[in-house]
Amino acid sequence: MVTQLSATQLSAQLAAKKISAREVTEAYLERISAHDAVYGAFLRTEDRALIAADEAQKKIDAGEAGPLTGIPVAVKDNISTEGLETTCASQILRGYIPPYDATVISQLKASGAVILGKTNLDEFAMGASTETSSYKLTRNPWDPARTPGGSSGGSAAAVAGELAPIALGSDTGGSIRQPASLCGIVGMKPTYGRSSRYGLVAFGSSLDQIGPLARNVEDAALLAHATTGHDPLDGTSLPIAPIDISGLKSGSLKGKKIAIPTEMFGDGINPGVRDVVEAAIDRLRAEGAEATEVSLPSIKFGVTTYYIIAPCEASSNLARFDGIRYGPRAEGGQGHIGVVEKTRGELFGHEVKTRIMIGTYALSAGYYDAFYLRAQQVRAIMQQEFLKTFDEFDFVVSPTSPVTAFKFGELDDNPLAMKLLDYCTIPANMGGFPAISLNCGYHENLPVGLQLMAAPLRDEELLQTAWITEQVLADLQQRPPIS
């Protein structure tokens, strides 16, 4: 089946004229039509997808194709797409159609990729299960009774469920890597500044980064290469070239020094998950990697620090959504203030309102120094601890998620447990480090993710090592039990 091929395999088939770009896109649109009622991965598909596929075919026929020409891509619905509704899975942006493309979308279109549609997420990317979406539930292809993780759950479910070969997500505290772990696929957060944030609806501006989700490391690398590089429209964009993947398959694990933080293998990690990850690390040792336990004490403060900094930035960023400039407006408000209060009160979901209030409180007079400033100081300590570790080690390795995919509603009465799902992923966002998650085995028939983190700007080496690791663990890679 076309939809079981990787993006790399599809690219080879297209180049050899064994299949057309239209046939590929049609196959995915048909599969979405037939199966997304179960998965709930997409909020909407792109009506112009077949037109884009025909344009891609012209490039292929003219010998002007690149590796992503004609390849369908699913896009998280907090990334602006010209002419295609972008809601952030929130009622407050219902019906909003951006007049421009995010830079990563412009890059994909220039590469000849086909935008397949927009995927579900936790509202404004605030959540770890995609349950806070105001539109629908997204289900995990490994078990539809369980969540796909979040906030990029729609993109992860689309890739795992073979509704898209590759997808874009965004990662503020683990929102690419955690759903990749729960869905048994690959998810990468590049170094902060390597992927343009222009056109990404901001949540936490100092933390957000767009990145790829894919079924294997090679496909993730293709998408990372296509969507990175300097962008003058983004003030945080680094003035360096796109991620270079020419040496992806040329590395070795022999002699690689791997740090194993004891804080990421403690009581907060499900014992079954820990066993699977430790078994994977043993296999890396057998290939010549040198794995050493280290202590990074700041890790235990990561969740608390994140849940001060991220809501503070969200409080500022989401002030623009008032029912006046974007989206619908609630009826019945008295005067300007009343309209804004009513619109925001009715159209923001519970999780978003909670985080806005926490952030506003922490930034208020008398509390700024006690909360936000102190959190930034702890963040700096965490950055320094990790950078010092990277002076001695090539990578930091850990579980991606403390648990496997959990059932819907299972954590409704335990909001702290939901936030602790980001325990292992938050440090990479705090420090701006590149990090990647790939499947390393199964616990109770559900996927377990292995996370690799590297020093800033070592994205190429991270992908190279992830690819080798994937080959070492190749016998563990399975498809979910899908039609």
Tens-place pLDDT, residues 396-442: 999 999 999 999 999 988 888 899 999 999 999 999 999 999 999 99
Which CATH number does the domain housing residue 317 bear? 3.90.1300.10
**pLDDT at position 144 over 90:** yes
Catalytic residue list: 76, 151, 175
pTM over 0.85: yes
Output the average pLDDT for the chain: 96
Which pLDDT value is given to residue 326?
81
Which pLDDT value is given to residue 160?
98
Domain span at 212: 1-483
**pLDDT at position 331 over 90:** no
pLDDT 10s digits, 29-74: 999 999 999 999 999 999 999 999 999 999 999 999 999 999 999 9
pLDDT 10s digits, 272-318: 999 999 999 999 999 999 999 999 999 999 999 999 999 999 999 99
**pLDDT at position 238 over 70:** yes
User: Does residue 9 or residue 412 have the better pLDDT?
Assistant: 9
How many structural domains compose the chain?
1
Nearest Cα to Cα of residue 177 among 402, 475, 11: 402
Q: pLDDT band at 76, cuts 50/70/90?
A: very high
Compute the average pLDDT of residues 322-326.
85
**pLDDT at position 483 over 70:** no
pLDDT 10s digits, 347-363: 999 999 999 999 999 99
**pLDDT at position 206 over 80:** yes
pLDDT 10s digits, 353-389: 999 999 999 999 889 999 999 999 999 999 999 999 9
pLDDT 10s digits, 430-481: 999 999 999 999 999 999 999 999 999 999 999 999 999 999 999 999 999 9
Which pLDDT value is given to residue 334?
81
Please give the share of the chain, as a percent, with pLDDT higher than 90.
93
